[in-house]
Amino acid sequence: MLVQQSSSLKEEIIRLKKEKDVVILAHNYQIPDVQDIADFTGDSLGLSRQAAKVPQKTILFCGVHFMAETAAIISPEKRVLIPDLEAGCSLSDSITIDELRNWKKQHPNAITVGYVNTTAEIKSELDYCCTSANAVNVVKAIPADKEILFLPDMFLGSYVAKVTGRKNMFIWAGECHVHAGIKPEDITEKLNSLKDAEFVIHPECSCTTPMMYDAAAGSFDGNKVSILSTEGMLNHVHNSKAKNFVVATETGILYKMKQQNPDKNFIPASEKAECQYMKMITLEKVYDALIQEKNQVIVPKEIADKARTAIERMLAIS
């Protein structure tokens, strides 16, 4: 019965989005049902850039709040809706605007680099945005004698500092509760049970730092290790000749991996790596947002214009 309800609701959502001329975007961590009704799935910045290209003037963003804000910043002439306004982000919440301004005062000549997983208000105070895929390139583009304030993710920041060899980089002590919960022992256990498995890891994971040198050397107890963004993971596992993969990121990405590679085996590094904020988005909430055209995400123009500058500087590098 539930399957039938889900199927009919999906059909109704697909009919409504065409009728109302709405494009639906879904992050890779969304539940399978929501990914199924999306026009595009991907990472947060990739989806926002896609939204700017499509002809539809209304975007329904199935993701967390900062992602919908980013879409509104990149497409100021479009209306951005979100199925649940309460879908937040522990990483985004780990730094406030007052904390950032005080930090900048302590380092008046520093260049501020912030992960795209931040609020619009935080982005408006940045010199550069970055993603997990291009953070290394953004930092490399900044003159070596310039101090860098990197926020808010300490694991991504530690990874970037090690890869670039940067000594004058200060890192905010924020974390994503999901990625921080994936421990080295989780991975060791999985890799030991799958001797021929490749290991793909998101740089936000707490296990990144202790495994950095092993990963750089190209092995981890004989297993191939790749530190990649979510989109990088999807591309890598598709192109790899390996059949078994241990995946260290939010478990929602496994659905798309299995869809695109039915002949391969994907094991989560931790079955507990689920973001409760991402999972707040349901088919029922998508339907309600479409029917009522509610939960619009609006970024004030002054904040959006400043934030857009930080994003554009990043895009010019990467």
Is 236 annotated to bind a ligand? Reply is no
pLDDT given at position 207: 55
CA-CA distance, 97 to 310, in Å (whole number)? 16
The alpha carbon of residue 313 and the mean position of all alpha carbons in its chain are separated, in whole angstroms, by 19
pLDDT given at position 226: 85
The DSSP 8-state label assigned to residue 210 in this structure reads G
pLDDT given at position 289: 97
Is pTM, for the whole model, over 0.75?
Answer: yes
Asked if 220 contacts 191 with a C-beta cutoff of 8 angstroms, the reply is: yes
Is 230 annotated to bind a ligand? Reply is yes
pLDDT given at position 1: 44
Which residue, among 108, 103, 39, 47, has the nearest Cα to 73 in the 3D structure?
Answer: 47
CB atoms within 10 A of CB 181: 16
Taking each helix axis from N to C end, the angle separating 65-74 and 44-53, rounded to the nearest 10 degrees, works out to: 40
Is 176 annotated to bind a ligand? Reply is yes
Is 75 annotated to bind a ligand? Reply is no
Is 94 annotated to bind a ligand? Reply is no
Amino acid occupying residue 111: I
Which residue, among 80, 168, 69, has the nearest Cα to 124 in the 3D structure?
Answer: 69
Strand, coil or helix: 200? strand
Give Cβ neighbours of residue 20 (< 8 Å, ≥ 6 apart).
58, 290, 293
Place of tokens 């730092």: 209
Is 44 annotated to bind a ligand? Reply is yes
pLDDT given at position 213: 43
Asked if 40 contacts 76 with a C-beta cutoff of 8 angstroms, the reply is: no
Q: Which residues on adjacent β-strands are paired with residue 245? A: 198, 266
Per-residue pLDDT of the chain (318 residues; tens, 9 = 90+): 444 567 899 999 999 999 999 999 999 999 999 999 999 999 888 898 898 999 999 999 999 999 999 999 999 999 999 999 999 998 899 999 999 999 999 999 999 999 999 999 999 999 999 988 899 999 999 999 999 999 999 988 988 998 899 999 999 999 888 877 777 777 777 777 777 889 898 877 765 444 544 554 454 555 688 888 889 999 999 999 999 999 989 999 999 999 999 999 999 988 888 999 999 999 999 999 999 999 999 999 999 999 999 999 988 885
pLDDT given at position 193: 79
CA-CA distance, 116 to 128, in Å (whole number)? 10
Query: What are the tokens at 243?
Result: 């059949």
Is 89 annotated to bind a ligand? Reply is yes
Residue-range domains of the chain with CATH: 2-88+278-299 (3.40.50.10800), 92-175 (3.40.50.10800), 178-268 (3.40.50.10800)
Is 204 annotated to bind a ligand? Reply is yes
Is 117 annotated to bind a ligand? Reply is yes
Secondary structure of 284-318 as H, E, C letters: HHHHHHHHHCCCECCCCHHHHHHHHHHHHHHHHHC
Is 210 annotated to bind a ligand? Reply is no
Q: Which residues on adjacent β-strands are paired with residue 24? A: 60
